[in-house]
Amino acid sequence: MSDKFVEAITPREENFSRWYTDVVIKAQLADYAPIRGCIVVRPPGFAIWEAIQSGLDARFKETGVQNAYFPLLIPESIFTREAEHIEGFAPEVPWVTHAGEEELQERLAIRPSSETIIGTMFSRWIQSYRDLPMLVNQWCSVLRWEKATHPFLRTTEFLWQEGHTCHETEAEARERTIQMLRIYREFMEEVLAIPVLAGIKSDREKFAGAVETYTVEAMMQDGRALQAGTSHYLGDGFARVLDIKFLGRESELEYVHQTSWGVSHRLIGALIMVHGDDRGLVLPPRVAPNQAVIVPIYRDDTRDRVLGAANDLRESLREEGLRIHLDDREEHTPGWKFNEWEMRGVPIRIELGPRDLDSDQVMLVRRDTGAKEPVSRSKLSARLEELLEEIQAGLFQRALDYRADNTYTAESVEDIRTIMERNRGFVEAGWCGDDACEASIKEETGTTIRCIPFEDLGEPGVCPACGKPGKHRVVFARAY
């Protein structure tokens, strides 16, 4: 087997960032666009995004959420109505100032997020408590003029979903906030096989304009954290600014309580960095566009026989509900195809040659472990389903073990700094709750509080910055 295809990938230990970019480009997930900070999501990458989109969309709709679409352009007079919100986004907002040669009377923001424009429409649609709850989501793209970009992780334009809901009471809104975070966590762990920590952000790290921000944080193979999704309780702040009122049950005008929540295509980046290896992408079966690829192996005199059997096999497996691809390209050798499909992360390779036909079997090769297994064709469908579940569970457990092996405890700023220099990873430590201490730890170690986990991490201990008793046990890390 030739390794030339794989030689183009930089080993992770040599340069993790370059390895990541190599996988994105070589696996044809995306390419750089001729626009600053933008990428073109290629069909293999977009197929993963479609799987994420469809999986989450179904879960959203089970809770009563409906999809809508709102304008890309937001008038400055609307966008600037929520002061904290605009202050948080101001450095990243692109503005449209001209239409052709004509200067616009009012600048239009290209949405970095849609709270203000969606809230403006809510103020028209909501009149009475009978109109509540209002549960809306949109799948779209947003623009944020980032200083530094990296494919999928941080780009000028990126794909995402943003949910926005309005509720009669604070309790209902808070319940929805946690409900959506729970959906994110379950999807990431059950479908993407990515273990995440769920918790609340510190005030310093919360979303601009939110009362509280909840997050799910994942650990990448370089020890950095990735904020994989967020859910925000917005209170009635946006409602007061945007005049989103309703006639309550006591015939008095009240302001709605709101939430917003979202994930982006950085989840594709998370898949790469959590599961990938030095041969390329490794995809969990539940999100893989192709769960298995059939690679026929033949000579000229056995070509028709093998290809015919391969086509029959593909159709029979598809009828069983499996996502199967047949690589019948004749310009590449089987060895080249093996390397390419390993690079693209397909969970299982099915090898089929003349000897296999004579033995009425196929050879299965797992992407995650490389293990080979001959299987009779009569038992193939059942064995594939078993293997796919084994791979799914194995990838999650491997990532969970990696996180456990790279989670440390600290009692001082020096402890955190040493961990970051030697190992990186998650650092559990106490925190007194003071914003100044959080800022000083960030300044001295490059870490931020990723979240105050829901999970009980034990006694709060002492704050690394001031030495006072901790109010919370938190997780520090360097992050993307």
The arrangement of strands across the sheet holding 73-75 comes to 73-75, 102-110, 95-99
pLDDT at 1 over 50: no
Query: What's the distance, CA 218 to chain centroid?
Result: 9
Quick: pLDDT tens for 444-467: 999 999 999 999 999 999 999 999
CA separation for the pair 18, 24 (Å, rounded): 10
Q: What is the pLDDT of residue 2?
A: 42
Indicate the pLDDT class of residue 85, thresholds 50, 70 and 90.
Answer: low
Q: What is the pLDDT of residue 87?
A: 76
pLDDT (mean) for 239-244: 95
Q: What is the pLDDT of residue 224?
A: 98
Instruction: Tell me which residue of 230, 229, 260 sits closest to 242, measured CA to CA.
Output: 260
Q: Provide the terminal-to-terminal Cα distance of the chain, rounded to the nearest Å.
A: 36
Quick: pLDDT tens for 61-83: 999 999 999 999 999 999 988 76
Q: What is the pLDDT of residue 62?
A: 98
For the chain, what is the total number of helices (H) and then of strands (E)?
Answer: 15, 23
Structure tokens at 44: 């293999």
Q: What pairing do the DSSP bridges indicate for beta strands 407-409 and 426-431?
A: parallel
Lookup result for tokens 């008793």:
469
Residue type, 78: I
pLDDT (mean) for 313-331: 97
pLDDT at 478 over 70: yes
Q: List % helix, strand, coil for the chain (3-state, nearest 5).
A: 40, 30, 35
Q: What is the pLDDT of residue 170?
A: 98
Q: What is the pLDDT of residue 399?
A: 98
CA separation for the pair 248, 128 (Å, rounded): 6
Residue-range domains of the chain with CATH: 4-275 (3.30.930.10), 292-387 (3.40.50.800), 407-477 (3.30.110.30)
User: In 27-169, which ranges are continuous DSSP H helix?
Assistant: 43-62, 76-79, 83-89, 115-125
Instruction: Tell me which residue of 149, 145, 22 sits closest to 93, measured CA to CA.
Output: 145
Instruction: Tell me which residue of 283, 273, 265, 203 sits closest to 229, measured CA to CA.
Output: 265
Lookup result for tokens 């101001």:
90
| Packing angle of the helix pair 380-405, 303-319 (nearest 10 deg) | 70
Query: What's the distance, CA 11 to chain centroid?
Result: 23
Q: What is the pLDDT of residue 6?
A: 55
Per the prediction, the chain carries an average pLDDT of 95
Quick: pLDDT tens for 140-195: 999 999 888 999 999 999 999 999 999 999 999 999 999 999 999 999 999 999 99
Query: Cα dist. 55→48, 168, 268 in Å?
Result: 11, 29, 14
pLDDT (mean) for 325-347: 96
Structure tokens at 218: 């994942």
Quick: pLDDT tens for 390-434: 999 999 999 999 999 999 999 999 999 999 999 899 999 999 999
Instruction: Tell me which residue of 377, 329, 368, 331 sits closest to 350, measured CA to CA.
Output: 377
Q: What is the pLDDT of residue 7?
A: 60
Structure tokens at 324: 């199967």
Q: What pairing do the DSSP bridges indicate for beta strands 324-326 and 212-219?
A: unpaired
Q: What is the pLDDT of residue 417?
A: 97
Of 78-87, 258-267, 340-349, give the lowest mean pLDDT range: 78-87
pLDDT at 3 over 50: no
Q: What is the pLDDT of residue 433?
A: 97
Looking at residue 211, the DSSP 8-state letter turns out to be: S
pTM of the model: 0.95
